[in-house]
Amino acid sequence: MTTLCVAAPQTAFAFPGEGYPDHRQIASRLEAAASSSKGIVRNLELGRDSAQRPLTVVQIGSGDPASPAVLLVAGLDGRHLHGIELALRHIEAFAADQAHAREVLNGGTLYVVPTLLPYAAQSVTQRPAHERATAAGAGDMDKDMERNEDLGDDLDFDDVLRWVRVAEPGGPYRSEDAEPGILHSADRTSGESGAWRLLTEGLDDDGDRRWNEEMDGGVLLANNFPFRYEWFGRNTGVHQVCEPETRALMDFIVLHPEIGIVLTYGFEDNLLQPWPEQKSSDPSLTGPGWGRKPVEAPNKNDLPYFRELSDRYLKAIGLDRAKGGLGVGGFVTDVRAEEELPIPTSDDAAKGGFAASAYYHRGLVSLATPVWTPGVQLARLEAAEAEEKKEEKKKAGENDTKDDGDTKSNAKGDAKGDSDGTSDGPGDDGPDSMNATGDQDAKDGPGPSDADDESGDAAADSDESELPKSVKDEARYLEWLREVDPAAWKEWESFDHPDFPGRKVEIGGYAPLARIVPPMSVLAETFPGHQAFLEGLFAARPHVVLESLSLTEKELGVYTLEIETQNAGYLPDVFAQGVFSRIVRPTRYEITLPAGAEVIGGTTRGPLERVGGEGTTLRTTRLLRLPGKEGVEVTVVSQHGGTDSHRIAPGESWRRS
């Protein structure tokens, strides 16, 4: 296997998740940001959790309901601690530079929900450390009317709950000779046979032949939202939005219709892995509501915007979409222990997902990213390796050029040496000595040690080339992980398990969160890119303005009012899914008339057609009867694109300069 020369971060920690903020640190950092921000940052109460503890939503900016807003949500899954940390860093960045914050927000508001699970970090700060994804609650996964009677046990007394693998012919997992520590699913369609069964660390406390099945009591908030909700699913709750935390978040969106863009840090994903072009929907946006079926693919009119925003995101964080494999998947989701809550793929995360519900049910521009994955880390390693090779080639080219110059300048001296009958002996130093040795080796063939080395390397290369891709990827990831955090992986060690007498049992594998949460130093490197992308969303949001007005007299007292509306932002005033959902109100015009005036054959207000982005303009004409020379005021109101108004007198024409 190729050895990667990757410098380990200066800051090490005991195992993944340590160093991330607990509920006290979250509260302290939010309070400090608000107190130092000179009024830019305000901490508001979003609601209460199931234990009646307050949940916080942070308001950054004006809070004006007439101005467009962006909502950032993190901490829906207790394992996604890096999303919480990143959200806190965004808040602190805006609080630290108020002038820059005002410039970026431009009259708008950023709302941040840093977490719905402020106590999530307790799972890794308490002992034994373990993963917990759900809200507080006791579990009865085996339906025996007993709660929390079968939890994990620290069998090897290392304060960490890892994995237990049990040798079992025909089991679901197997390992390869070249990488015996790595498990992967046996492909039975190809004739592969499994050899291992995988459990979480612990005992069968209730004797039902299920191990630690009640480790995840409570509801998984990340899958408690309406879109593709799984009825009777594992930890999904009694029904959609049944938990006080999820209800508080959805109520907040309903109470703030000015929120047009939602960014979610979690397992849902349409930024690292953009929605494919081949999968889209095209429902009628104008037909009757009867008989309509739920839409489960993005609208074809919205898809280009999502893919462009994905490109901007990847560029901001320094990744290339062409590499592929950036999302949650591969070896991360291929292997999981029995009864362990799985690490979801983006598709599984969307079932009952918040980001998906915000788009499909509320019609909002809803973006989601896992922030970091092992696939992202592998892509960064490949990029660093490619850059290193590029630099080596560059240096080699410079050295070759220098060597050519030295050879030409010494050619005369070399010729003289040859004519004198002298030559460099095998004991002389220099390139000629090395060439002579190389030629001799080529003539006589490699010695025994060389042959052994070459055959060994060839065998190693052959073994590695035959490994499944998921195993090769995981081996490369583990090589990096061992460098940055040796405690994140424990080599498998034999253990006499009382539940499996006389059988081969081993304890080891990943520490909690080692496949989910990056080291804090790695997350710090990604923050500037995420901050730039978040700020870019304010520049991309719709910005609907009056571009021109004219009030021309047709005949005595009758005037033609021409209104030209423009969207100066990148995004449209409403996504097609927003039209289909009938949640987002259409952009409208309003005409304020003087006393005695009227609109002929119409009303003083009415909807406009959908205003596309990037400078799209719409022209609207209305016929007015004005009794005198007093002017009218025209206002355009967009739910997500802002409000603009201008007053115009009879016979006047106006255009925005």
What is the per-residue pLDDT for 264? Answer: 99
Dihedral sign (CA 305, 309, 310, 311): positive
What is the C-alpha to C-alpha distance for residues 323 and 246, in angstroms, rounded to an integer? 35
What is the per-residue pLDDT for 419? Answer: 43
Residue 646's Cβ-side half-sphere holds a number of Cα atoms within 13 Å equal to 19
What is the per-residue pLDDT for 422? Answer: 41
pTM of the model: 0.85
* CATH class given for the domain over 542-655: mainly beta
Torsion of CA 377, 379, 383, 388, to 10 degrees: 60
Burial class, 521, CB count within 10 angstroms (exposed 0-12 / middle 13-18 / buried 19+) = middle
Residue 525's Cβ-side half-sphere holds a number of Cα atoms within 13 Å equal to 13
What is the per-residue pLDDT for 239? Answer: 95
Outline where 512-641 has alpha helix (H).
Answer: 520-540, 576-581
Q: What is the DSSP letter of 223?
A: G
What is the per-residue pLDDT for 11? Answer: 38
Q: Which CATH architecture has domain 23-135+215-280+295-379+516-539?
A: 3-Layer(aba) Sandwich (3.40)
Residue pair 131/512 in contact (Cβ under 8 Å)? The answer is yes
What is the per-residue pLDDT for 413? Answer: 47
Q: List the domain boundaries for the chain.
A: 23-135+215-280+295-379+516-539, 542-655
What is the per-residue pLDDT for 406? Answer: 54
What is the per-residue pLDDT for 367? Answer: 98
Chain-centroid distance of CA 466 in Å reads 32
What is the per-residue pLDDT for 13? Answer: 43
DSSP 316-337: HTT--GGG---SS-THHHH---
Residue pair 549/51 in contact (Cβ under 8 Å)? The answer is no
Outline where 292-373 has alpha helix (H).
Answer: 303-316, 331-334, 346-349, 354-360
Task: Match 């995420």 to its residue by tokens.
Answer: 530
Residue pair 88/56 in contact (Cβ under 8 Å)? The answer is no
Parts of the chain with a pLDDT under 50 = 1-13, 408, 411-462
Q: Please, what is the end-to-end C-alpha distance for the chain in angstroms? A: 64
User: For the chain, how are helix, strand and coil distributed in percent, rounded to 5?
Assistant: 35, 20, 45
What is the per-residue pLDDT for 125? Answer: 80
Q: Is-cis flag, bond preceding 607, omega within 30?
A: no
Two structure tokens written together for 490: 């424990």
What is the per-residue pLDDT for 615? Answer: 85
